[in-house]
Amino acid sequence: MVTIRDVAKHAGVSPATVSRVVNGLVGYSEETRRRVEEAVTSLNYETDFMARGLKTRQTSVIGLLAPMVSDALASEVMRGVEEAAREQGYAVMLGRTGLQSVFIDGYLRTLRTYRAAGVILISAVITQETRQILGPNIPIISVAISDRSGSPSVSIDDERAAYDATRYLLSLGHRRIGLLAGDPASVFVAHPRQRGYERAMAEAGHPPVVAHGTFFYDSGAPGLDELLRQDPDLTAIFAVSDEMAAAAVNELQERGRRVPDDVSVLGFDNTSTAQHVHPPLSTVAQPLEEMGRAAVRKLLRARNLGPRIMPHSIIARGSTGPPAHQHPAHQHQPSQEL
Amino acid sequence: MVTIRDVAKHAGVSPATVSRVVNGLVGYSEETRRRVEEAVTSLNYETDFMARGLKTRQTSVIGLLAPMVSDALASEVMRGVEEAAREQGYAVMLGRTGLQSVFIDGYLRTLRTYRAAGVILISAVITQETRQILGPNIPIISVAISDRSGSPSVSIDDERAAYDATRYLLSLGHRRIGLLAGDPASVFVAHPRQRGYERAMAEAGHPPVVAHGTFFYDSGAPGLDELLRQDPDLTAIFAVSDEMAAAAVNELQERGRRVPDDVSVLGFDNTSTAQHVHPPLSTVAQPLEEMGRAAVRKLLRARNLGPRIMPHSIIARGSTGPPAHQHPAHQHQPSQEL
DNA sequence: TTGTAAGCGTTATCAT
DNA sequence: ATGATAACGCTTACAA
């Protein structure tokens, strides 16, 4: 292995000077710089991160903790994180965490002993304990989750996004809109999304119709079933994840109902799943990749305080449209544009 | 920060002894062990990986390089890698690589200076250059790619799997089977999969019908179009990725053809995509997660030589069935079980 | 502008 | 069975 001393010898300077040049500090002549750089390339020298880390008490690694939940979502964020990290010269250390915080603690500890430059949490909330394990020197930030604690975070306004999405369905003329919600106990974003829906429905004077799923595909069909049991005349389904929405579309068609002619379906997150169903899913988009990039930048800046809210948007694809007509027994409602 | 000296002092022994106990080496009395362990827990001591890495020239880091291609596939493998690594006390350092090897070289260098314990390559092939950058001390292994070079790898037999898949379609009674192939130039598995299909078709005495896509969803519809142009009477489509197969299913239905009644569709990889289409995709399954786990184990064993072939299987779901009947102009072929 | 030297926290060698 | 001590390769005061 070629060390900094080898380079120093080759360039005829001291190790200290080599270190200065390599790290772009000040305090050497142009001529020296040239000679050192020549030596570096000709010897193919590379800084030993272990030695540097031991000395500086910092490494260029960013810890990235992602849950097993909604892989497609985490994948998008990860892409953004990885790209931004690479551009800034950081490596990404990956940990997959379940819903249990058992693993997350372990990872946090590992990250601390590796002297990580920072930690990014996808779809998980920063607790007191989290902060405590990490100690005061390692910053942490959460992504894609509406954090109410005021901790550093990058996310959309989930409540508002769900509200807007419901308004969108309302503006299409729908009145009987069912919510395929998530389990608030296990997934944090479930709660604000449900609140947004309920607020929009309340404002419009329509009763909410809610069933709970797990965010995963498998829970979509049973959830739809439950919704339809509560109100067989639903003309629109709003699912808080694309996977559940996709399952709803497929199950609806299985039952002989056309999408969107008979029932509209709206998803959430704009993951790749949304485009793989037929018709493709209208959905609420989060700028996932950009959120990942933003998280890295925010983490690495000194001022890493408070939440950062990113814009959401509603992408209308084929799975939503105006309602055909209400159930024969009910009054006919012409579709209305808002 | 609490160091090994603090523990030594607390336990009334030397740092060397603490090190021996912590690392489970020999050379200390039962009584000493007890005292040291008490000190470790009561001081909450944790080994500094940087210092250890500097000294031992090794860290418990496994580098994981995944392409942007077919995210769902990489995700599955990653899960297996991450789990196995954690169980063995290793951390995973993630790099996403494009199809270009530009990034991969950079990551390899980073991994080397971090003194990684080993490197896992998903869907990418180990080249001479790769090996050279890594040096002789860091083992590397590729996953989910049929490597012909004899380098360490974990994969299925892609040629054989495609052959078996085609035979499966043949056994259902299909004669006119189109292949939605991948681009052999950009994705390595494309080639053996195409060969397997061609071999099975040749043996059965049927002409191959081939169109090329990119493995991604978007290339599915155009690919199907091309296939149907070559032979409008195709009764089965075999796509070498689930994404292309999903696109084919959707496009087929868009054109008013029923799946599988009019046309059967078979996918490849058994990613989550396969279950999100309607009807759910029959597909060729690779034990992706298990392959990830196997890769970690193989990497960490001393004897890490040659390829390891994992079993593939064909999962019949709703998208395949016997052909209804041939084109009216042709002879009727009763469906036949093989 | 440049060099010397003292660690960073650990492990490994060599005594005892 | 245990302890001194010397590295590992780097950064950083402090000197010059």
Residue-wise pLDDT tens digits, B151-172:
999 999 999 999 999 999 999 9
Residue ranges per structural domain of chain B: 1-47, 158-287+313-337
Give dist(CA B148, CA B34) in Å, integer: 53
pLDDT at A330 over 50: no
Give dist(CA B11, CA B28) in Å, integer: 13
Band of residue B62 on the pLDDT scale cut at 50, 70, 90: very high
pLDDT at B225 over 90: yes
pLDDT at A317 over 80: yes
What's domain A158-287+313-337's superfamily in CATH? Response regulator (3.40.50.2300)
Give dist(CA B313, CA B188) in Å, integer: 20
Instruction: Please report, rounded to a whole number, the percentage of residues in chain A having pLDDT higher than 70.
Output: 94
CA A67 to chain centre: 10
Distances B267 to A58, A71, B160, B313 between C-alpha atoms, Å: 47, 20, 15, 12
- Which of A46, A75, A253 is nearest residue B113 as measured by Cβ atoms? A46
What pLDDT sits at residue A186?
75
What pLDDT sits at residue A38?
95
SS3 breakdown of chain B: % helix, strand, coil, rounded to 5? 45, 15, 40
B-proximal residues of A, 132-151, CB under 8 Å = none
- Give the residue ranges of DSSP H helices in B88-238: 102-113, 128-134, 158-171, 190-204, 220-230
How many CB atoms neighbour CB A135 within 10 A?
10
Contact B111, A92 (CB under 8 A): no
Residue-wise pLDDT tens digits, A267-314:
999 999 999 999 999 999 999 999 999 999 999 987 778 899 999 999
Contact B258, B250 (CB under 8 A): no
Q: Residue A218 has what DSSP assignment?
A: G
Q: Which bases of chain C are under 7 A from a protein CB atom?
A: 1-5, 7-13
Judge whether B105 is closer than 8 Å to chain A, CB to CB: no
Residue of B214, B317, B221 whose CA lies nearest to B272:
B317
pLDDT at B335 over 60: no
Strand-pairing partners, residue B155, are: B309
Report the pLDDT averaged over residues B297-322: 92
Nearest CA in chain A to B113: A48
Report the pLDDT averaged over residues A117-142: 90
Give dist(CA A259, CA A265) in Å, integer: 7
Which range (A114-128, B100-114, B128-142) has the least confidence?
A: B100-114
Between A318 and B327, residue with greater pLDDT: A318
Which range (A9-18, A201-210, B26-35, B302-311) has the least confidence?
A: B302-311
pLDDT at A240 over 80: yes
Residues 6+ apart with CB under 8 A from A12: A35
Report the pLDDT averaged over residues A87-112: 85
At A2, which amino acid appears? V
What pLDDT sits at residue B100?
64
Judge whether A268 is closer than 8 Å to chain B, CB to CB: no
CATH top-level class for A1-47? mainly alpha
What pLDDT sits at residue B337?
35
Question: B30: distance to nearest CA of chain A, Å?
Answer: 28
